[in-house]
Amino acid sequence: MSYLVSTVCAVRDLVKTYPAARGRRGAPGTPEVRATDGISLDVRRGEIFGLLGPNGAGKSTLVRQLTGLMRPDAGSVDVLGHDLVRHPERASRLIGYLGQESTALDELTVSLAAETTGRLRGLPLRQARAERDAVLAELGLAEIAARPLKKLSGGQRRLACFATALVGERPVLVLDEPTTGMDPVARRAVWAAVDRRRAERGTTVLLVTHNVIEAETVLDRVAVLERGRVIACDTPAGLKQQVAGEVRVELVWREQAPLEVPEVAALRDVAQESGRRWVLRLAPDEARAAVAAVTGGAAFASLDDFTLATPSLEDVYLALGGRAKGLVKA
């Protein structure tokens, strides 16, 4: 049975180009955009595989092509032995998908949203209700089951949408920023539910995120996307190994940086500035010298806070040449 081989999802040379739009009445036109520009990936069975990148990197376009919502211009998508470019309608029978929009469910109660989605995933009524009850209990949603989604807070609504993605089991889950707006309790419920399915049924998860902390803690492997290309693909630890020789120094100034101090002026050339905050990636001895310079002498009076840390995936992204700002640390 070759579907038991470990590659669940194989993507090869996926290309999707959005055509140039003509400008109208004052608004400038947009040039042609390659949203996915030759992406190749292999996702293994039972893996939590992440797509990390800032907004506009092509994550959602890639996911839409994997779930049969969008036809690529070129390339192939193979999920569990099925060619999804040729047969996009099979995607819904292999993949449970959580998109970013909930408008189709907003006016339904949590309970009816989960039940209806289960029935539309092909479950008989009785089974849809049983799975609905089990999933709502598992995620701690039983108390708000009778409330309509649009009356819930953003995080609760997101959790309810996540619940609908679990009713009607699928071997592959594609989750597009599932934890947006959630509090820590809800996030834990999501990752516990994902882990349980992976341990019990070997479920494979493809996760879209722009949150580097989440990527580091929950992902087995991660592909870093930048302008429609995969610029790196490895385990979070393996990726961080690439910048292991560096230390991340964050400086926060009280009002403004004391540029009259020569050491500080020199640091400015290598710092990433955002307001009062400077972020520097330095070799360990450089970092020591920098900390000594700002914590002693004239500069210290202007310093509000500083931290030294080992690099995060954000540093990897920047070291690999990522230019956009838009990764979130939360």
Partner 1 sequence: MLPTESAEAGTVPGAAGRTAAAERGHESAGRRQDAPDVPDVPAAGRAAPLAPRAKLLPSLSAVYRAQLSRARVARIPLLFVATFQSVGIMVLMRGVVDGGPGARAVVSGSSVLVVAFVALNLLAQYFGQLRASGGLDHYATLPVRPAAVVLGAAGAYASFTVPGTAVTAVVGSALFRLPLSHLWVLAAVIPLAGAALAGLGAAFGLLAPRQEVATLLGQLGMSAALLLGVLPAGRLPELIRWARDLLPSTYGVEALARTFDARPDWSAVGLDLAVCAAVGVVSLAVATWAYRRAAVR
DSSP string, 266-306: HHHTT-EEETTEEEEEE-HHHHHHHHHHHHSGGGGGGEEEE
Q: Which of residues 125-154 bind partner 1 (CB under 8 A)?
A: 125, 148
199 binds partner 1 (CB under 8 A): no
User: How far, in Å, CA of 91 to CA of 65, rounded?
Assistant: 10
233 binds partner 1 (CB under 8 A): yes
211 binds partner 1 (CB under 8 A): no
What's the burial of 19, exposed, middle or buried (CB within 10 Å: 0-12/13-18/19+)? Answer: exposed
12 binds partner 1 (CB under 8 A): yes
112 binds partner 1 (CB under 8 A): yes
Min dist CB 103 to partner 1, Å, is: 3
Residue 146: phi and psi, rounded to 5, are: -90, 0
The first and second tokens of residue 137, run together, are: 């209990």
Cα torsion at 128, 175, 171, 111 (round to 10°)? -10
13 binds partner 1 (CB under 8 A): yes
171 binds partner 1 (CB under 8 A): yes
Q: What HEC string does 101-139 produce?
A: CCCCCCCCEHHHHHHHHHHHCCCCHHHHHHHHHHHHHHC
* Residue among 238 and 284 whose Cβ is closer to partner 1: 238
* Residue among 109 and 180 whose Cβ is closer to partner 1: 109
42 binds partner 1 (CB under 8 A): yes
Q: Among 130, 320, 324, 328, which residue interacts with partner 1 (rule: CB under 8 A)?
A: 320
Window contacting partner 1 (CB under 8 A); options: 134-142, 163-171, 273-281, 304-312: 163-171
Distance of CA 159 to the CA centre of its chain: 16
253 binds partner 1 (CB under 8 A): no
The first and second tokens of residue 174, run together, are: 């594609």
Q: Among 48, 54, 58, 67, which residue interacts with partner 1 (rule: CB under 8 A)?
A: 67
What's the burial of 213, exposed, middle or buried (CB within 10 Å: 0-12/13-18/19+)? Answer: middle
Q: Among 20, 21, 74, 104, which residue interacts with partner 1 (rule: CB under 8 A)?
A: 104
Applying CB under 8 A, the site for partner 1 has a residue count of 68
32 binds partner 1 (CB under 8 A): no
Residues 6+ apart with CB under 8 A from 129: 115
276 binds partner 1 (CB under 8 A): no
Window contacting partner 1 (CB under 8 A); options: 22-30, 119-127, 187-195, 296-304: 119-127
122 binds partner 1 (CB under 8 A): yes
User: How far, in Å, CA of 172 to CA of 253, rounded?
Assistant: 47
Which residues are near partner 1 by CB under 8 A? 1-3, 5-7, 10, 12-13, 38-42, 44, 67-71, 78, 80-83, 88-95, 97, 99-105, 107-109, 112-113, 115-117, 119-122, 124-125, 148, 168, 170-171, 224, 229-234, 238, 320
